[in-house]
Structure 1
């Protein structure tokens, strides 16, 4: 015999209905209480995570000073705060108060700075894996949206004139920047792709090609090429000289040994091919002038290194 049937025998159908309504109200109220307690607990954890972050880095006398901040975030604190302010104003995602903009941006920046998993800092910042992943994507999108017009572009005529002036002051008239390639380990490379991305080190890596100037401005990046390539044949895929081939390169004029030239060049190591666009390092210099050239060459290349 059912529970409701027993109640009906003792109390009547009206009492059974009242009991059912009371039971339903209790279940609903318990559910509401569970939601309130969960939100309260999350709020407490978020507040503690934000308070911990503020105490460690962002109060007037933080536990970790400017030097520690730069070492852990790979940038100065004023620059980081400028980025936080820009991406917060640009995207409502960072304006939502469940987590502070500093928590979200710090979580994203820690993943970028150390290349760690998204769950590596969840306890410290009181952020779940999903929130950290979303914050990372939104942070990268925000940086690109806010700063691409200024920092993700090729040099204009004024920039080129400044770069040529600095190059001439360094003893390299006509030099615009330094170029170099490096092999970057790809820890999470898909198994199906691993074979083509394994290089000399027997690790899955990709090639990163970069052009950087004296002020550490990165004018050109090209990455993703399998490590079975090298500094020479990666140029066959790189868009570095697309504007030159299309006849859209900026005009350059400089004089060396009383001869006027109209093609700018990059300084690079000895691995790159012997093209007019590259001034390479001299290996094992013997003559005094060659040694002097190597000294100036290495000093100018330290930016991209």
Structure 2
């Protein structure tokens, strides 16, 4: 069986008005495309913000994007759209950041090797040497940037230089350093973090201990985009599991790590597939 032809994904956000879906669909039709999936959402029935993810393919394989773009540009201008068009056959480049814990890293690497995550992984960056052997086992370059309070700015500049031209987005797979504002700004909306808590509860470094002290009955994990405000970026995905009075801190951590793996993998997959649109400090996720 021949491979499926590559599709295009059109992502749109704009003020909500009548006629948007019809106008977009007509552009696809006139450019020789066929819509295979369409999702849309408005923040309000009238006068809100409209979001759309439309996936289509060209009926003639040799067709390019120039004709569609020329037809769509005036429509986008008329409706004041923020938009982008991406190809399904051009995988994103994902750089992984880690510290000492390996569970999220190994899970992502397993999903990548098995074909579940259609990305390229150019490198792994860490502030500790502990996981270099894991990277080597997957044949991936591993770069160590030891960071302390005095050298963080300089080390992050070196990290940015290394990443230039190699990475489209970054995943903090339990990377236990707070990135500086210049670093975050350079990859604005392109850094995914897994936080071992159901945000906004228990932000910071020791959420399981604080959850245990509070006597919670559920614990959770949150995948979110990184912003300058600690653990307050737009949330992509969350999940929870129940705990009880018999569970100690070690039990909470064990259960939580299962959640962290699953939640981070979902968020990464949705980002790879261009299913996430950021709106202020919120997201619209077309799953």
TM-score bucket (shorter structure): under 0.3
Q: Which protein is bigger by CA-based radius of gyration?
A: 1
Structure with the higher strand share, 1 or 2: 2
Instruction: Name the TM-score, length of structure 1 as normaliser.
Output: 0.24
**Which protein, 1 or 2, shows the higher relative CO under an 8 Å CA cutoff with sep ≥ 6?**
2
TM-score by length of 2: 0.25
Structure with greater helix percent: 1
